[in-house]
Amino acid sequence: MPGSAAAVRYQAAAPAFGSGFDRRQLADQLSTLFRDRASFELNEEDVVALRRGLHLSSRDSLAALRRSIEGSRPDPTLQSEFTAWQARHPCALQKFSKISQGAKGKRLAVFLDYDGTLTPIVKNPDEAFMTEQMRDIVRQLAQLFPTAIISGRGREKLENFVQLKEMFYAGSHGLDIVGPRDPSSPHEQFAFQPAARFESTMNTVYDTLSARVRSIPGASVEHNKFCVSAHFRNCNPESWEGVLAAVQTTVAEHPELKYSKGRKVLEIKPQVEWDKGKALTHLLDALGLDDSSNVMPIYIGDDNTDEDAFRVLRLRADGMGILVSSKAKPTAATLTAKQVSTSYWL
């Protein structure tokens, strides 16, 4: 909450950009997140569809197909559309000099999504581990600026993945927020849970939904405390409707809940006016960084749920939203970066 010891400590620790601070430090850390890609990337679902449609059985033939497609010239129409989209949402690295110039004298805060931003999207959600290189990058960012990870993951699971005590963590799409513990007080910790009253309900939903999808091959349910996620990435397409029906039936039994769709996941959440954008606003306010005239918040994410945060930053004088994507799609982000993978981080 505003005024907590952890928040006050971070207010004092946040340096003004360009005031006793080498801006190359931020550039060096952020640039590893945005290594430019020379070709379009085939998403896993595209690969599966191609393999099924072209009857490719061996990994070698699939790899050859991937190399052939990625090495070929993109369709001119698609290339033109992508170029037009990129002109509206330019590459973050290409604009970094201009961004850093505009950030001089301002206080910075960095907000990051987790899956698809700090780690690649993986088949098993429990195996979305950060590389040590990425962990070191995020650690250095957190030592320079107030830094938070805002994710749909459960907050405790998120902390176990990241393993950095310098961070603010906002799990369940911002419904469960904690900050670094104040070393001067063993009891004082920045914390906020706007949906705490739903914890028991979400436990029930997890048990009910798990039972309903148990017979669907490849389906899995993840308990993220104030958000229950039904994953269908590993299901055959003909099974997707079954997962959707299970989610819809479960939500119908709890009118105080709602569901939304992410990247091969359906998420059940409480009917509260809260999202990643409101979590970002809450953190800025709690850290004394709500004055848009001398603060530049940067938010980096890849998913539809990150759009709420991008929209919040669009309303600020110097907010900077960066969409991680290799495909053109509607976004409120100002800048973009190609989709990241471990082989391109360093």
H or E stretch at 111: strand 107-112
153: its two tokens: 């993951």
What are the φ and ψ backbone dihedral angles of 309, each rounded to 5 degrees? -70, -40
Say how far apart CA 119 and CA 115 lie, in whole Å.
5
Q: Other CB atoms closer than 10 Å to residue 253's CB: what's the count? A: 10
For the CA atoms of 126, 45, 32, 79, the dihedral, rounded to the nearest 10 degrees, stands at -160
Q: Which of 113, 115, 303, 306 is catalytic?
A: 113
In the residue annotation, 113 being an active-site residue is answered as yes
215: its two tokens: 């017979």
295: its two tokens: 């603060």
| CB-count burial class (<10 Å; 0-12, 13-18, 19+) for 197 | exposed
202: its two tokens: 């979400």
229: its two tokens: 């996620």
> Coil, helix or strand for 317?
coil
Cross-sheet strand order for the sheet of 295-301 = 189-192, 176-181, 168-171, 147-150, 107-112, 295-301, 320-324, 335-337
CA angle 308, 313, 317 (to 5 degrees): 160
Contact 332, 310 (CB under 8 A): yes
Catalytic residue numbers read: 113
